Amino acid sequence: MQSSIASTAARPARVLRWRVVDIVVASVVAVASGVVFWVWDLLQNPISGPVTAVAPGFQGILNGPWLFAGVLTALIVRKPGAALYGELVAAVVSALIGTQWGIATLYSGLVQGLGAELVFALFLYAGWGLVPALLAGAGAGAGESILDLLYWYPGSKPEFAVVYAITTIVSGLVFAGLGSWLLVRALARTGALTRFAAGREATGRV
């Protein structure tokens, strides 16, 4: 009984309130992600056309690099609203730099962030391992696929809609979920995240 009480006392209490450092780091991550979004806007355009022509719906596999900002921000900051904040700020930055999608970029940031945020909320903001990360990436992909099918592909054939949704979700799971989880672990090993639980866990200093 005493050892159980001691271990409970030694375990740091979760603090869900945002600190100044959380806001600063989340903003830096989101802005950097927005630049990545803009670069991917340029790179994916020549790829998307041929993929769509050969395998309609499979262009959803290219959406993953736009889905990671919310998952990455949340895995680092571990606060309610971090996924939504990271994805939405990244979308705003991308739109300000200039994208072909215009105002729709902000819609995407909103639904992607909400999709990831919902998953972390379902884990009560206490699950930050690989499984929650993968599901959050898939959630971001699900949000984006719904928006795209309603906004960009209204009236599309059912088979197209199914393939597009599945490939977008898989892309989110891999690029946003797995990719963000691996990136956080890599950053933690450099010592860049020592102010965060994510950094202390990866280095064994919880």
Domain ranges of the chain: 18-200
Q: Which of 15-24, 48-57, 133-142 has the highest mean pLDDT?
A: 133-142
> Encoding tokens for residue 62?
């290219």
Q: Which CATH class is domain 18-200?
A: mainly alpha
What pLDDT shows up at residue 1?
43
Q: Express as a percent the part of the chain with pLDDT over 90.
A: 82
Q: Is the pTM of this model over 0.75?
A: yes
Q: What is the pLDDT of residues 170-186, one digit of tens each?
A: 999 999 999 999 999 99
Give the whole-angstrom CA distance, residue 25 versus residue 46.
Answer: 33
| Average pLDDT taken over every residue of the chain | 91
What letters, b where the CB count within 10 A reaches 16 and e where it falls short, cover 89-122? bbbbbbbeeebebeebbebbbbbbbbbbbbbbee
Q: How confident is the model at residue 99 (pLDDT cuts 50, 70, 90)?
A: confident
Q: Which of 26-30, 38-42, 201-205 has the highest mean pLDDT?
A: 26-30
CB 203 within 8 A of CB 98: no
